[in-house]
Amino acid sequence: MSEIRTPTPVIDAPSLGELLQAGRGVVKHRPWPRAVVDSDTWILAAECLTQGSVSLLGFWGEADAVHMALLDEPGAAIGVLSLACPDGQFPSVAELHAPAIRLERSVQDLFGLQAIGLPDARPWLDHGRWGFRHPLGNAERSPADAPRYPFLPVEGEHLHRIPVGPVHAGIIEPGHFRFTASGETIVRLEERLGYVHKGIEGLMAGADLARGAELAGRVSGDSAVAYAFAFARAAEAALQVEAPRRARWLRALMAELERLANHFGDIGAICNDAAFALLHAHCGVLREQVLRTADRCFGHRLMRDVIVPGGVAHDLDPDGAAAIKTLVAESRRRFPQLVDLYDNTASLQDRTVGTGILKPQLARRFGAGGFVGRASGRTFDARRAPGYAPYDELDFQVPGLDTGDVDARVWIRIHEVEQSLALVEQILARLPAGPLREDVAAAHSAHEGIALVEGFRGDVLVWLRLGAGGRIERCHLRDPSWFQWPLLEVAIEGNIVADFPLCNKSFNCSYSGHDL
Amino acid sequence: MRKLLFEILVKPPLTEDAPVVDNAALAELARALERAARKRLGRSLAIRQVDAGSCNGCELEIHALNNAYYDLERFGIRFVASPRHADVLLVTGPVTHNMREALERTYAATPAPKWVVAVGGCARDGGCFAESYAVAGGVSDVVPVDLHIPGCPPRPVEILRGLLALLS
């Protein structure tokens, strides 16, 4: 992690609207505007990011262009800036705004475009094992010789290094963690990811919408609903189709069930990493009950492939609705006891309170979403702003804390469980009747759509360009983990090695969602 | 905590009261597994799980095997932290090029006799990721596979049934 630089004051920082107006607007990009800008405006936008007047929502490439999605948080406005790269290079945003570093390294790896000024030019997703470079740009053959990855140097007396992974000791995804410790204390953690890079964006190119939805639902298994939801909304935005009202409500129902299942699992798993197995066992029961109810209602425990562009593929029958009501009642009965237990067990609190602190300033700078952001003072929630149906008709709160430790990330999850239970009840009480699916006709010309959906981990961004005939030309899926993984490196500094599993689980970043 | 522990004492265990999964089927699985496992491995089967590129869906369901409903350990099956302690490698995902060497080395580190169980559709042949530049293929393209458990992801009870098939 580089140090926090003092932001250079920019006099009269332009607003997001002004940045967009400085470029040429792209007509068929919905629902938020996209503009092709020149490199001066591009750099100006990077300065705005540094200053914090906008935050980075996404950064992705194409064979001959780069794009960045920006969020004006107070104004709840979103816009995409694009820069053509006819000579294969672009001015680095990461030079001014560290959260873009890994995204730009990935763009370099996949497309071969060069980020001029990028402070860290090491490859990120490309481990030198594909047999060629720049698979999504001008692919060129290269020997699959897996060159040694140069980890950042750490100098000082009495330091030792602990390499961990990619195969870990538990049932978790692969990634490499390089710890440098002084005795028990972690001086630096450096992550190396990309092991589960499956080339999903490459598979998306040329696929039809059905195949696209299948792939999107498999970006990160724990967020199968959130990704399918975001992909469907992006496709519908591009084609100007609206899913029927009942489908929109069922989507939210599934999204909240997914949030419940994951939060129950996480709360238990965090306690388990502090060696408190009792809560893990009880939370595991609650999680299993959610998954079984989902299976009973939608035919799949993770509710995979139920949300499709145009609507949903599976209806909820009255028995299913009754099963969910029972689930909510049972969760409401059992969960508060577990929360009490968490709150009143001093030995457990001793592990979680004050451990792995993420400062609010960094959470804001990185635009960290989900429980990571909310436990550190950033209460952004895509359901609220920019907002999408049916959440505009539902009553819920977005919890926020600013202590930023493992304990705060547990409490945010606890509060979100309570909110999700209330949301599920509201949805069931007011679930509209009607059709489930709208026809998604192939467009005759190119259309672009973008969507932001709040998954359990944070906001999932999907950007989509459909060509004539309805084939996907380019689809980018940005997991919330991109802006959370780098923060784990900071949060762990000064903690003991034995607390790493605890911190890591409290972040619970997705490897697969990040590696794509 | 006292109240919670008291409740546990007076209430029947969830493991026998599974609401959806057929109890008789689970019990039958347990009995059969016990017989077969004892014959070959005494009473214990040590599993090392390796994610070779999955979407983490299979991991979630493998995790679930440890919850109170399935309670995998009552069958003498348990997950271990090192391949050197393992009898079985439970491998998920399409094998990505970036994970290929790690999988090969994990396999090499597992002492014989050893079995490899490939879990999920991707582990068979790469599944929906098969044609990607970043994917080497299914698990059997990299290490020998003894059993494949299909599903996307397979339900926990299906994974349990699969482990039984390996042993009998």
Here the contacts of A295-301 (C-beta below 8 Å, separation 24 or greater) are: A295/B20, A295/B155, A296/A320, A296/A323, A296/B20, A297/A321, A297/A323, A297/A324, A298/A254, A301/B61, A301/B155
List the single residue in A166, A215, A295 with the smallest CB-CB distance to B102: A166
Asked if B64 lies within 8 A of A291 by C-beta distance, the reply is yes
How much of chain B, in percent, has pLDDT values that exceed 90? Answer: 58
Residue A141: enclosing H or E segment and its boundaries? strand A140-141
Cβ neighbours of B101 in A, within 8 Å: 129, 146
Q: With an 8 Å Cβ cutoff, is A198 touching chain B?
A: yes
Contact criterion met (CB < 8 Å) for A197 and B96: yes
Give the model confidence (pLDDT) of A197-252 as tens digits. Answer: 999 999 999 999 999 999 999 999 999 999 999 999 999 999 999 999 999 999 99
Reply yes or no on whether the pLDDT at B44 is more than 90: no
Question: B92: helix, coil or strand?
Answer: strand
Q: If pLDDT is split at 50, 70 and 90, which confidence band does B21 have?
A: very low
Q: How many CB pairs under 8 A join A and B?
A: 148
pLDDT digits (tens, 9 = 90+) for A383-400: 998 999 999 999 999 999
Alpha-carbon distance of B46 to A222, in angstroms, equals 26
B77-86 pLDDT, tens digit per residue, is 889 999 999 9
Q: Where are the alpha helices (DSSP H) in A7-100?
A: 16-21, 39-51
Those residues whose C-beta lies under 8 Å from the C-beta of residue A43, and which sit 6 or more positions away, are A91, A96
Query: B-contacting residues of A 12-71, CB under 8 Å?
Result: none
How many Å lie between the alpha carbon of B159 and the closest alpha carbon of chain A? 14
| Distance separating alpha carbons of residues B151 and B148, to the nearest angstrom | 10
pLDDT tens per residue across span A124-156 = 999 999 999 999 998 888 877 778 899 999 888
**A130 contacts in B (CB within 8 Å)?**
97, 133-134
User: A173 — contact with chain B (CB < 8 Å)?
Assistant: yes
Q: Which residue type sits at A329?
A: A
Burial class of A307 by CB neighbour count within 10 A (0 to 12, 13 to 18, 19+): buried
The residues, any chain, with a CB within 8 Å of residue A346's CB and separated by 6 or more, are none
| A123 and chain B in contact, CB less than 8 A | no
Of A220, A281, A301, which is closest to B68 when you measure between CB atoms?
A: A281
CB contact under 8 Å between A214 and B79, yes or no, is no
Q: In 10 A of CB A456, how many CB atoms?
A: 26
| Residue type at A239 in one-letter notation | L
For residue A251, the 8-state DSSP code is H
Contact A196 B19 (CB under 8 A): no
On whether the CB atoms of residues A309 and A240 are closer than 8 A, the answer is no
Closest residue on chain B to A146 (Cα): B98
Q: How far is B53 from chain A (nearest CA, A)?
A: 4
Of A214, A302, A337, the CB nearest to B128: A214
Name residue B108's amino acid.
A
> How many angstroms away from the CA of A203 is the closest CA of chain B?
6
What band does A327 get if pLDDT is binned at 50, 70 and 90? very high
Give the integer Cα–Cα distance in Å for A430 and A428. 6
Burial of B6 (0-12, 13-18, 19+ CB in 10 A): exposed
* Partner-chain contact A295 B20, CB within 8 Å: yes
CA angle A178, A181, A187 (to 5 degrees): 85
Which of A26-40, A136-150, B17-31, B97-111 is least confident?
A: B17-31
> In which element (H, E) is residue A454 found?
strand A447-454
DSSP state of A431: -
For chain B, say whether A304 makes contact (Cβ under 8 Å): yes
Q: What is the pLDDT of residue B17?
A: 37
- Which residues of chain B neighbour A510 with C-beta distances below 8 Å? 56
- What residue in A sits closest to B131 (Cα-Cα)? A203
